[in-house]
Amino acid sequence: MSVLRMREALRDAMAEEMRRDESVYVMGEDVGVFQGAFKVTEGLLDEFGEKRVRDTPISENTIVGVGVGSAMGGLRPIVELMTVNFSLLAFDQIINHAAAIPYMFNGHARVPIVIRMPGGGGHQLGPTHSHSFEAMFLQIPGLLVACPSTPADGKGLLKASIRDDNPVIFIEHETLYGARGDVADDGDQILKFGEAAIRREGTDVTIIGILRMAHIAEQAAKTLAHEHGVEAELIDPRTLRPLDLDTILESVRKTNRLVVVEEGWPHGGVGANIAALVQEQAFDHLDAPIQRVTGADVPMPYSKRLEQSAIPHAEHIVSAALATTEGAT
Amino acid sequence: MKTATKDGAASGARPLPDRDTCLELLETMALIRRFEEEAGRQYQRAKAGGFLHLASGEEATIVGTTSVMRPEDYLIGTYRTHGHAIARGTDPKNVMAELFGREDGTSRGRGGSMHIFDRERRFMGGYGIVGGNLPLAAGLGLSCDYTDSDEVTVCMFGDGASNTGNFGETMNLAALWSLPVVFILENNLYGMGTAVERHSAVTDFSKKAEGLGVPGVRADGMDVLAMRETVTEHLRIAREDRKPTLVEAFTYRYRGHSAADPEVYRTKEEVEEWRRKDPIEAFADRLEAEGVLTNGEREAIRERVDTQVREAVEFADASPEPSLDSLYDNLYVVGDQVPGWYAVDERAPQPFRGEHERERLEGEAKKLAEAGAAYAGQAAQTGHREGEEAAARDEDAAFDERGEGEPDEDAPDPGAGGPESEDGAG
């Protein structure tokens, strides 16, 4: 066991898989000489050289498309997009091509590509560099969607993504790159998609948080326990597609209450999706309407004060959880 | 009429290849023409659905290119690629079955006319998004370069695609990375219904990528021998010199952009004028004139391709519809991470929508949803069971609870993961 930062864990995942499999390569804007805008690819160019760590022009759609084409030709590309906002420039290749090709060619073509991208707010990067698009990606059949919140999950899921034959959207959170955590030294520690982590056991309310919100939910759970006597069960889904609905349902059947926390927008969000699934399958187990805690329904503002007000905080999660338990005996 | 200046000399100036090659070129072009005519007919009969883009008139561009490629070279095209697949050796039966949306189609009815695919023959697909195949071609080229193979990727696309961002991006990247790709721009003078002069500021497409590092030439796309000569040289440049190039092939489609095209943008006379230099008839005439082809053989080819296409229709007609339980097949590669599609599609088999959904939507939840304010702490709505009294909640609390949202001092390792330089995030 070592204590690593998220960015180091992700880098190790890539480096280990590149050592293991010659067909794995990394490309993206400034991933080589610059070592990555967030330094996630630090050291890779030195170890693997320009053939396997490729700086690209600023051409998002084409970068992803080249990745898709090379995957069809037998390689296993890891494409880094500098932020999730820039992925919008590549939506054609992600949705019309990467996600559709295996299906529309009846499995005769495979697209084993990993598209990594950092998102989320908190650094005053304003309305074009701070968004959370998990919900957009999770909607797309053909994609897998990972959103790790800890270094161990980051490493285990990234290795799984690289080895898998499906196109994977791998969402990282900008403010978690420096977060530290225990990471197994065993290089073959591979996580499975569709297996949620229960971060805290509780009996009164289930709280689901993704990415940075998994951590904020932990703070909220402490407050709920210490100040309100409410024991929250915390679930980090870790992957949104596939989603570990079984673990969520099992928890809801126990607590009868659910709060879903995300940084993204409310309409058609992760919470909206999970709420729909849970009410379809565990309606009679719910003692209160499912609460969603989301980012504000605005482009992310620049001003620190406004930005912070647009991002969910522990206090919001606490009040949402209390709203579900209100009147409970 | 719109005319094209051509780099190549007239077809008569080129020596004919050997007899077998000549006959094969002629027969492949004739097969494509006959196939396209029949596809149009079957579309009228509603056997084929969706959109149908026919390549009648463009046969010399297609066959001139594919006939000089190696079997292991990649070909990637557009939504007008029935002929490209057939020229690569795909059985017309399977192409027709795909048009019919049947089980024996090249994509088992998942792709349709615009998305023919034949991995075995390295036909890496037709693509419905204009310009979408350009980066894929560069990627295929990269995979060859990466593995030190000398396979070349041929990317065929239309004049309209040269206006997409993908064109500029891909040309730059292909040149920057010295990728072994031959880009063949099939200039049929119209991007859908918009003439080249009306859609492109630069109408000499051979020059359009020069500033991005990809030099180009013009070729007579109505002359199968001219195409062979030009593409042969450009395949060599890609294979040996490891450089991407562009070939602008002047060609013409006799039929509309798709089957649903009233063709108000061009005159009948223009179409007739191009038909007079028909690539198939002109080549057959020459073969006859030079004694390579007898009149009887010309007729025999016509009959053979006619039979082949009729059989393709019969085959497609007899092929079963895809079974409904195959709907999710090949959406994912099933393996460690995806045990089956059901692991990803989480809908309940019989979603319970609730008897009183309508009433609930009349309330506060609807107002909040419309305001885009599905946020924390709003008052809960009615309970989920009819007749069960929900606890009275203060609806006004919805926004009061939200607070000003001061910075969260306890955020994990705040700021530690930030951009590490001023321009760090782009």
Residue B32 half-sphere exposure, CB side, CA atoms within 13 Å? 32
> Is A129 noted as a catalytic residue in this protein?
yes
The C-alpha of B146 sits at a distance from chain A's nearest C-alpha, in angstroms, of 7
Determine whether the interchain pair B129/A110 forms a contact, defined as Cβ–Cβ distance below 8 Å: no
Q: Which residue has the higher pLDDT, B348 or A188?
A: A188
Helical H runs in B241-319? Answer: 268-275, 279-289, 295-318
pLDDT at A328: 65
The domain locations on chain A are: 2-183, 197-325
Residue of A78, A212, A313, A318 to mutate for B, most B C-beta atoms under 10 A: A313
Residue B319 CA to residue A181 CA, distance in Å, equals 57
pLDDT, residue B60, reads 98
- At B390-400, the pLDDT tens digits run 333 333 333 33
Active-site entry in A97, A129, A131, A215: A129
Q: Which of A51, A92, A212 comes nearest B132 by C-beta?
A: A92
Task: Give the separation between CA B336 and CA B219, rounded to whole angstroms.
Answer: 50
Q: Are A323 and B377 in contact (CB under 8 A)?
A: yes
- Residue B412 falls inside a structural domain: no
Whether B369 is in a domain gets the answer no
For residues B410 and A175, what is the distance between their CA atoms, to the nearest angstrom? Answer: 13
HEC string for B41-101: HHHHCCCCCCCCCCCCCCHHHHHHHHCCCCCCCEEECCCCCHHHHHHHCCCHHHHHHHHCC
- A319 → closest Cβ in B373, B374, B377: B377
Domain count for chain B = 1
Residue B41, domain member (yes or no): yes
Question: Is B410 a domain residue?
Answer: no
Answer whether residue B399 is part of any domain.
no
Give the chain B residue whose CA is nearest to the CA of A160: B337
Which tokens is B394 given? Answer: 């203060």
Domain of B29? 11-326
First to last CA, chain B: 49
B372 within a domain of the structure (yes/no): no
Class of domain A197-325 as given by CATH = alpha beta
Q: For residues B351 and B291, which has the higher predicted lDDT (pLDDT)?
A: B291
**Bond preceding residue A167 cis, omega within 30 of 0:** no
The strand pairing partners of A180, in sequence order, are: A5
Contact call for residues A20 and A193 (beta carbons, < 8 A): no
Instruction: Decide if A250 is catalytic.
Output: no
pLDDT of residue B365: 40
Read off the pLDDT band of B329 (50, 70, 90): confident
The residues, any chain, with a CB within 8 Å of residue B228's CB and separated by 6 or more, are B17, B64, B67, B68
Whether residues A62 and B169 touch (CB distance < 8 A) is answered with yes
Q: Would you give the distance in Å from CA A329 to the centre of its chain?
A: 36
Domain CATH code at residue B148: 3.40.50.970
Cα angle A173, A179, A183 (rounded to 5 degrees) comes to 105
A6-21 tens-digit pLDDT: 999 999 999 999 999 9
Those residues whose C-beta lies under 8 Å from the C-beta of residue B339, and which sit 6 or more positions away, are none
Determine the 3-state secondary structure of B412 from DSSP.
coil
Sheet holding B74-76: strands in order across? B74-76, B153-158, B181-187, B245-250, B216-220
Note whether A141 contacts B415, CB cutoff 8 Å: no
- CB within 8 A of B387, min separation 6: which ones? none
* Residue B422 included in any domain: no
Length of chain B in terms of residues written = 426
- In the predicted structure, residue A25 carries a pLDDT above the cut 60: yes
Q: What is the pTM of this model?
A: 0.87
Q: Residue B263, by phi and psi: left (phi above 0), alpha (psi -120 to 50) or beta? A: left
Measured in whole angstroms, the distance separating CA B310 from the mean position of its chain's CA atoms is: 26
Q: Residue B107 is encoded by which pair of tokens?
A: 């994509």
Query: What is the longest distance spanned by two Cα atoms in chain A?
Result: 64
In which element (H, E) is residue B246 found?
strand B245-250
Nearest to B348 among A241, A280, A319 (CB): A280
Is residue B333 in a domain?
A: no
Over residues A58-103, the pLDDT tens digits come to: 999 999 999 999 999 999 999 999 999 999 999 999 999 999 999 9
Which residues in A lie closer than 8 A to residue B417 (C-beta atoms)? 5-7, 38, 173-179
pLDDT at B359 over 50: no
Angle in degrees, 0-180, between the axes of helices B92-99 and B19-44, rounded to the nearest 10: 20
Residue type, position B360, single letter: R
Cα–Cα distance, A190 to B401 (Å, whole number): 41
Query: Does the A2-183 domain belong in CATH 3.40.50.970?
Result: yes
